[in-house]
Structure 1
Amino acid sequence: MSMRIGYGFDSHAFKAGVPLVIGGLKIEHSEGLAGHSDGDVLLHAITDALLGAVSAGDIGSFFPPSDARWKNADSSIFLQTALEEIAVAGYRIVNIDTVLVLAAPKIGPIAGELRERVAELLGVKPGEVGIKAKTPEGLNQDHVAVAHATVLLESATSPEQLTAMTAAADTEDQMNAVVKTLVGDSRDVSALGRKVPAFDTDDLT
């Protein structure tokens, strides 16, 4: 069985006048996170961890901030694309561990709800998702939210099976059928980032 490890990191400054979204949850707070999309620092880090684990580039290569389509976009779209990538590569999630670094709001009281939401978005069990939070003591980052994510993947099928399945998929509908076989759910990939050309380093976020 083949195993892969991926690591992701993201950071966003706080900004007044926008909602705070972390891990797919809207959180009551006086400020949200600045970003071209919804600024969901946790989902961005997880997305990068998943993409990195299968050597598929990073979030900026799929969803460049220069593209107006992703302005204020729901970051779960980015996560779905990463899930498509690992499925097509023939892998599935074993577990994921994350760390949020921010002065406020306090994550401890909502860590359980965050775990449930992230697990739902990833299609895994809550016990396979770690959510931890630290304060940025001594880092001079009181007005910034930082997220780290590490993911462990295992092969979902043999290389021979995967090659045969993907080679036979000539259309998006057929590729969706492959994904459904691998992860148990079919997603419309036409609006996602998988068809974007190889990444441009000028678009990294």
Structure 2
Amino acid sequence: MGMRIGYGFDSHAFKPGVPLVIGGMKIEHSEGLAGHSDGDLLLHAITDALLGAVSAGDIGTFFPPSDMRWKNADSTIFLQTALEEIATAGYRIVNMDCVLILMRPKIVPIAGEMRARVAELLDISERDVSIKAKTPEGLNQDGTAVAHVTVLLESLNVPGEPKKMIATMEEPDEVDEMVRTLIDGEEPYSTARLGRKPAFDTDDLT
């Protein structure tokens, strides 16, 4: 079975007057993280790891900071796009290991909740997500938060076996609909059954 590894990195400086968002969670703290979007460095690093694993570029390729549509954007949007890319490439997540490096706030007390939130966003089991926290001792990074992420993907196609539709069809009409949409070049019958999120339309943003 084909396997691919992706690595993601991100860092943001702390900034007063903005909410702190890490791993899709709002965290009570005196400062948030500066950034063009919501500053969620963990979701940014996960997004880059997923995109890198399938050689699809990086987060800036899809969401350049020069584009004002992404000003203060929810980083789950970026993550959904990365999930679309790996599903389109024919892969799924096996497991993910994340390291957060920051002096404060303390992540250990909320690591379980953060792990559950990330697993929910990725639509995988909590046991396939690891989140660890370290302090930047000796690195002179007290005012900065850093995230490192490694992800392992596996191919949805098993070598030696004929390719087949992954969606399970229960009625003949469903098979006809799948074939029609594939021939017509329309949206596949059900991307959700491939573990994909619905395609995100950037034109919907104001």
- TM-score tier after normalising by the smaller chain length: 0.7 to 0.9
Asked if residue 11 in structure 1 is aligned to residue 11 in structure 2, the reply is yes
C-alpha displacement of 1:187:
1.0
**1:187 matched to which residue of 2?**
198
- Aligned-pair identity in percent equals 71
**2:47 matched to which residue of 1?**
47
SS in 2 for 1:105: coil
Asked if residue 170 in structure 1 is aligned to residue 185 in structure 2, the reply is yes
Give CA deviations for 1:152-178 in whole Å, capped at 9, x if unaligned. 00011358558xx9975723xx14x36
Write the letter of the residue equivalent to 2:16.
A
Alpha-carbon spacing, 1:169–1:92, altered in 2? closer, same or farther (3 Å): farther
**1:199 matched to which residue of 2?**
none
**1:147 matched to which residue of 2?**
147
Give CA deviations for 1:105-143 in whole Å, capped at 9, x if unaligned. 000000000000000000000110000000000000000
The answer as to whether partners of 1:88 and 1:178 remain within 8 angstroms in 2 is no
Alpha-carbon distance between aligned partners in 2 of 1:25 and 1:186, rounded to the nearest angstrom: 20
The answer as to whether partners of 1:8 and 1:49 remain within 8 angstroms in 2 is yes
C-alpha displacement of 1:21:
0.1
**2:65 matched to which residue of 1?**
65
**1:195 matched to which residue of 2?**
none
**2:82 matched to which residue of 1?**
82
- Once the two structures are superposed, the pairs formed by residues 156-167 of structure 1 within 5 Å of their partners are 156-157=156-157, 160-161=163-164
Give CA deviations for 1:32-62 in whole Å, capped at 9, x if unaligned. 0000000000000000000000000000000
The answer as to whether partners of 1:156 and 1:182 remain within 8 angstroms in 2 is no
SS in 2 for 1:13: strand
C-alpha displacement of 1:191:
2.8
Write the letter of the residue equivalent to 2:155.
S
Alpha-carbon spacing, 1:82–1:113, altered in 2? closer, same or farther (3 Å): same
**Unaligned runs of at least 5 residues, structure 1:** 193-205
SS in 2 for 1:142: coil
Alpha-carbon spacing, 1:117–1:45, altered in 2? closer, same or farther (3 Å): same
**Greater CA radius of gyration, 1 or 2?**
2
SS in 2 for 1:141: coil
Asked if residue 120 in structure 1 is aligned to residue 120 in structure 2, the reply is yes
The answer as to whether partners of 2:81 and 2:199 remain within 8 angstroms in 1 is no
SS in 2 for 1:127: helix
**Unaligned runs of at least 5 residues, structure 2:** 166-178
Write the letter of the residue equivalent to 1:148.
H
The answer as to whether partners of 2:84 and 2:197 remain within 8 angstroms in 1 is no
Alpha-carbon spacing, 1:191–1:161, altered in 2? closer, same or farther (3 Å): farther
Find runs of 4+ consecutive structure 1 residues off by over 6 angstroms.
none
